[in-house]
Amino acid sequence: MSIIVIGGGIAGLTFALSLKQRGIDCRVFESAPEMKELGVGITLLPHGVREFSALGLEDKLRAAGIENRESAFFSHHGQFIYKEPRGALAGYPYPEIGMHRGTLHRILYEAVLKVLGPDKVKINHQCVRVEQDALGVTVHFKETSTGAMLPPVKGSVVVAADGVNSTVRRQFYPDEQMYFGGINTWRGVTRMKPIFDGRTYMRVGSIDTGKLVIYPIIDDVDGQGNQLVNWVAEKRQDVSYRNDWNKPGKLEELLPLYADCKFDWLDVPEMLRNSEVILEYPMVDKTPVPQWTFDRITFMGDAAHPMYPRGSNGSAQAIVDARTLADLVAQSEGNAHTVLKAYEVARLETTSKIVLTNRQAPPDFIIMKVEELTGGKPFRHIDDVISQEELRQISENYKNVAGFSLSSFQAKAAS
């Protein structure tokens, strides 16, 4: 097969590496005019690290990020609710790693350039449309920086890894709309002293009271013991409009939502004021569709299953997509439609469940449940409200749906 990958993000680059490891070449086309280390933090869950480890990248990722030791949940009053060990400390064979998204992207991009060669990785190529017939596919591109049309590219199959606003997906679902439930998010990074042990992933509050996700991504960033800490703020608001991606966030709009969040373990307003960057994003996903594969064309990653960025699972599922399809291509006898359809069967139902779970009962459902039981008021001790075992079960339920429970790892290792 002559495989064309549209999109040089996490999904597309991981797929290219997975194919090459199996002795198969592809061509990658990315719309960005140049590759920059953009974005803020990302968390790689054990099932994502497992796939990167198989590609020989685990040591680089460990060196570039911070291994999370535990995940902790707090009310919007800063009161402790629940905590659990993560990654290797929870018995997984792989760690959970927090790192800068741009650094992850650079590591993947450099690895792809090394194994494929620069002639098979093209930037500044924005996909305009894809055509197919019995003989193959033709992809039409324009130069992102100028808008000038570029020569069409022909191949056997197209894997669309071009993100939540996928041009290719739009060809097959032209009337599809983003699902927006009135939740806007802000993201930023702050240089600050480590919180707790400097290895804790924290969730504070809910989308109704003002949710925060906080975790470190770079250790000793300045040689003075400070960490670069990633934070995400989410708040449900009575708005009908949806904000844009990569829009600069305004501190004056964000700060009042968290003005009272001064805990004995963290001064949230100070963290927000000291942020080096504030970006604003819409909290959106798309309702799962019944089909990804259309003869010689299929979707991958956010183009296939855009989901709420909760539970750190969007990137993990994209990485699993990449390995799954690479395995099927390597095992095939060249029948493009059969291979792509088998990939869809293997991944569509699983990821659809995760999309809906992230929308309705994400990991921070733990905090939502406590707020429901307390009416959002402070409590004397969490055991007066709900048992730790009940909270643990909520956490395990999400891991089971998302495919990274410890038992699923053990079952895979046994097989």
> What does the pLDDT look like over 93-137, one tens digit per residue?
999 999 999 999 999 999 999 999 999 999 999 999 999 999 999
DSSP state at residue 130:
E
Mean pLDDT of 211-239: 91
Residue 87 lies in a domain: no
Q: Mean pLDDT, to the nearest integer, of 63-67?
A: 96
Least confident of 181-185, 251-255, 402-406, 407-411: 407-411
412 pLDDT above the threshold of 70: no
Q: How many distinct structural domains can be found in the chain? A: 1
Per DSSP, helices labelled H in 259-335 are: 268-273, 314-331
pLDDT digits (tens, 9 = 90+) for 176-208: 988 887 788 899 999 999 999 999 999 999 988
> Stretch 364-379: mean pLDDT, rounded?
94
Q: Is the pLDDT of residue 242 over 60?
A: no
Top mean-pLDDT range of 53-62, 329-338, 354-363: 53-62
Q: In what order do the strands lie in the sheet with 137-143?
A: 125-132, 137-143, 153-155
The two tokens of residue 156 are 């056997």
Q: Is the pLDDT of residue 289 over 80?
A: yes
Looking at residue 239, its pLDDT comes to: 58
Q: Decide if 82 is inside a domain.
A: no
Under DSSP, the state recorded for 257 is G
Confirm whether 192 is domain-assigned: no
pLDDT tier, 240 (very low <50, low <70, confident <90, very high otherwise): low
Domain that holds residue 352: 3-47+115-177+290-360
Domain-embedded: residue 370 = no
Does the residue 413 lie in any domain? no
In 3D space, the residue among 74, 53, 39 whose CA is nearest the CA of residue 212 turns out to be: 74
Of the ranges 26-30, 215-219, 361-365, 391-395, which one carries the lowest mean pLDDT score?
361-365
Q: Which strands form 200-204's sheet, in the order they lie side by side? A: 80-85, 70-74, 200-204, 211-218, 227-236, 179-192, 275-285, 247-248
Looking up residue 309, the CATH number of its domain turns out to be: 3.50.50.60
Cβ-based neighbour number of residue 45 at 10 Å? 26
**What pLDDT is stored for residue 358 in this prediction?**
82
pLDDT (0 to 100) of residue 374: 97
pLDDT of residue 156: 95
Provide the CB-side half-sphere exposure for 327 (13 A, CA): 13
14-29 mean pLDDT: 97
Alpha-carbon span 272 to 280, nearest angstrom: 13
Does any domain span residue 129? yes
* Amino acid in position 100: H
Give the pLDDT band of residue 42 (cuts 50, 70, 90).
very high
Residue 27 belongs to a domain: yes
Please give the pLDDT value at position 335. 84
Say what the pLDDT of residue 367 is: 94
In a domain, 294, yes or no: yes
Distances (CA, A) of 345 to 207, 239, 394: 34, 38, 28
Give φ, ψ of 183 to 5 degrees: -105, 120
Strands 137-143, 125-132: pairing kind: antiparallel
